[in-house]
Amino acid sequence: MSERRLPVNELTARERECLALACEGLSNQDIAERLFISLKTAQRHMSNCHQKFGTTSGRQLVAKAYALGYAGNGKHQRLIALLEEIRTLLPEVIGTLIKVRE
C-alpha cells in the first residue's frame, strides 16, 4: 500500500483502545461506557484518531485502521490482502470478459 503507516507510538494507548473498539462497531457512547470515561473524552480520543489518520468519518477511520494494520486479527488481514489482490486483477479480468463478448 502506498500510504504511510502511522507508527504505533503516534497513537496514545487510550486512542488505540478507542480505535480498536470503534473497529468492533462500538459507538462513541459505547466506547465511553466500556472504558469508564466520559462521552466527551471518548469523542476527543476519536477526534485525535481522525486527525492522525486524516479521516472525516467513522467508516473512513475504521477502513484505514484495517488497511494500515491497526485493527483486526490475522483473519481480517488475510481478507484485506485477498481484496487488494482482487482489486489489482479486476481490470485484467474485465478486459478479458470484454474481448470474449466481442
pLDDT digit string, tens, across residues 73-89:
655 655 666 677 787 88
For residues 32 and 82, membership in a common domain is answered with no
Percent of the chain surpassing pLDDT 70: 80
| pLDDT surpasses 90 at 93 | no
| pLDDT surpasses 60 at 91 | yes
* CA neighbours closer than 13 Å in the CB half-sphere of residue 5: 11
Q: Tell me if 1 is assigned to some domain.
A: no
Task: Match 502506498 to its residue by C-alpha cell.
Answer: 2
Report how far apart the first and last C-alpha atoms of the chain are (Å, whole number). Answer: 35
How much is the pLDDT for 86?
80
DSSP state letters, 47-62: HHHHHHHT-SSHHHHH
pTM (2 d.p.): 0.65
Domain count, the chain: 2
Q: Tell me if 2 is assigned to some domain.
A: no
Q: Tell me if 64 is assigned to some domain.
A: yes
Average pLDDT over residues 10-39: 93
